[in-house]
Amino acid sequence: MFKNKFSFMNAAVAMAVVALSHQVVRAADGPTDPQIVGIVLAADQIDVEYGKIAIAKSKNKAVREFAQRMVTDHSAVQESVIGLAAKLGVTAADSPTSEGLKSGAREITAKLNALKGKEFDKFYIENEVSYHHTVNGAVASVLIPNAQNAELKAALEGAQPLFLKHEEHARMVQAGHAKMAHQ
């Protein structure tokens, strides 16, 4: 039963990641600058919300510290994007990608809220690895290449190393969590 529960959760994460990947790729002409702003704001807000859940539920120090870093960093990125958008006169717009992110987030949030203890920690950190990997791919292959405004493109390029570090950090926490589970 325990293995089946994790298989189901892993499949749900994988489906959300695949759905996001397909939605990003399907944008024939690529997202517009307002849609890029909407995608970035949605992605940041989702990770802030996941982090807040983890801070409230996890007892694992590494998971809590990672979650706090996500809340802090993604909140700061959101503020920067909102400020840049206002400066450029760009209003965030929804797109299939931002709507897909939000839809997937509702499912993941429900799962996060339903889990406890080590099951929660495992699911949260696995989701963070997958989520950051997918978002990092979209930033590099879709958002940066399609950004028309030079300042927006520069902001995405400037934030990219932070997002890559988040993925690396999530993988480190995941590896530590897996190691502890086998001891």
Q: What is the 3-state secondary structure (H, E, C) of 95-149?
A: CHHHHHHHHHHHHHHHHHHHCCHHHHHHHHHHHHHHHHHHHHHHHHHHHHHHCCC
Q: Average pLDDT for residues 139-151, to the nearest whole number?
A: 96
Q: Domain containing 151: what range? A: 2-19+32-181
CATH of the domain at 119: 1.20.1260.10
Q: Average pLDDT for residues 143-167, to the nearest whole number?
A: 96
Say what the pLDDT of residue 181 is: 47
pLDDT at 13 exceeding the cut of 70:
no
26 within a domain of the structure (yes/no)? no
Buried (b) or exposed (e) across 23-38, using 16+ Cβ within 10 A?
bbeebeeebbbbbbbb
Could you give the percent of the chain with pLDDT greater than 90? 80
135 within a domain of the structure (yes/no)? yes
Determine how many CB atoms are found less than 10 A away from the CB of residue 14: 12
25 within a domain of the structure (yes/no)? no
Q: Which amino acid is at 173?
A: V
Say what the pLDDT of residue 177 is: 64
177 within a domain of the structure (yes/no)? yes
- Of 14-23, 40-49, 133-142, 151-160, the one with minimum mean pLDDT is 14-23
The two tokens of residue 108 are 């993941």
171 within a domain of the structure (yes/no)? yes
8 band by pLDDT with thresholds 50, 70 and 90: very low
Separation CA 97–CA 93 (nearest Å): 11
Higher pLDDT, 71 or 181: 71
Higher pLDDT, 31 or 26: 31
**87: helix, strand or coil:** helix
Per residue in 60-75, pLDDT tens? 999 999 999 999 999 9
67 within a domain of the structure (yes/no)? yes
Per residue in 49-102, pLDDT tens? 999 999 999 999 999 999 999 999 999 999 999 999 999 999 999 999 999 999
